[in-house]
Amino acid sequence: MTSIRIQAGGKWSGYISRGKNIRMTAAGDRANLTTLLFQASDPSERYNMPDSLKAQHTAYLTSGHVLMSDQGRVLASIIDDTTGWHDTLSGYTTRRSTDRKYGVTTYQQERNDWYRSGYENLVVEMYRHRLTPRDLCTPVNFFSKVVCELDGTMRYESQPTAGTSITLRTEMELLLVVSNTPNPLDPEGRYPDSVIELTFSDAEPVKEDDRCLVHCEENRRAFENTWQAQSLLKGAY
């Protein structure tokens, strides 16, 4: 088992093979892990918010749901979730929004306690893997709950996150990019301080009664698309 500890304001990226469990655990409340997923060998295939939400008739993510790519395939499945609601609509913080909400901080003044932004964290970790700001797209904000009223008003709703966890099972070879930066709609003026730990382990094979596979017919067809592509490439590497 491999673990990675991401401090508040921290970031991480890495390649992960198919068939792994990624368990994300928040140490404190108001945790928010802004997350992008790309296919490792062709990162132009990536998590697609609209395709994932339309297929599963949901505006948020929890256990049983899957994260789909723009190619109609499953990047990762949510096999376990003790948090309850993961936001898909609020995006990432920027330098401007961070300075405006939490006050201007700089490395020169605050050293490593300065407040990082989601945009800068994502761009740096993407650039490490030869992606540029043009590859930015809608992320998932794990651990955050954002509700839309009938008139469209978007509202951050506080949910306990301390000690909760969500487990993703990878269904393809992935590039994972994460930023432990605040949810843009979290109204509190104090920068969050929750550490988030990522624990990686080998996953059990997907069984016929897998909760993500049987969640809806749409998910089954997305798994079938994924397996078909993998069978066509079998033996290639």
Partner 1 sequence: MSTSTFVATTSTREPATAIYDHIIPAGDGWIHDLAAGQVLRIVDLEGNQAVDTLFYATEDPGDHYSAIQTITGQQNLYLTTGSVLVAESGRELLQITADTCGRHDTIGGACSAQSNTVRYSHDTLPMHNCRDTFMLMLSSRPEFSKRDLAPNVNFFMNVPVTPEGKLTFADGVSGPGRYVELVALAPVTVLISNCPQLNNPCNAYNPTPAQVLIWEAEGSDSHV
Cβ 69 to partner 1 shortest distance, Å: 8
Q: What are phi and psi of 122, to 5 degrees?
A: -65, -45
Q: Which of 197, 193, 198 is nearest to 30 (CA)?
A: 193
Cβ 101 to partner 1 shortest distance, Å: 13
Alpha-carbon distance 194 to 171, whole Å? 28
Cβ 211 to partner 1 shortest distance, Å: 18
Q: Which is nearer to partner 1, 24 or 126 (CB)?
A: 126
Q: Which is nearer to partner 1, 33 or 55 (CB)?
A: 55
Q: Which is nearer to partner 1, 130 or 207 (CB)?
A: 130
Burial 189-212 (b: 16+ CB within 10 A, else e): eebbebebebbbeebeebeeebeb
Cβ 68 to partner 1 shortest distance, Å: 7
Bridge partners (DSSP) listed for residue 169: 21, 77
Cβ 111 to partner 1 shortest distance, Å: 27
Q: Which is nearer to partner 1, 128 or 204 (CB)?
A: 128
Q: Which is nearer to partner 1, 54 or 190 (CB)?
A: 54
Query: How do 11-16 and 60-61 pair as beta strands?
Result: unpaired
Give the DSSP H or E segment for 96: helix 95-102
Cβ 162 to partner 1 shortest distance, Å: 22
Q: Which is nearer to partner 1, 5 or 211 (CB)?
A: 211
- With vertex at residue 47, the alpha carbon angle to CA 41 and CA 51, rounded to the nearest 5 degrees, is 130
Q: Which of 233, 234, 8 is nearest to 113 (CA)?
A: 8
Residues that bind partner 1 (CB under 8 A): 44, 48-51, 53-55, 57-60, 68, 70-73, 85, 89-92, 94, 96, 119, 132-138, 147-155, 184-185, 218, 221-222, 224-225
Q: Which of 107, 111, 156, 126 is nearest to 13 (CA)?
A: 126
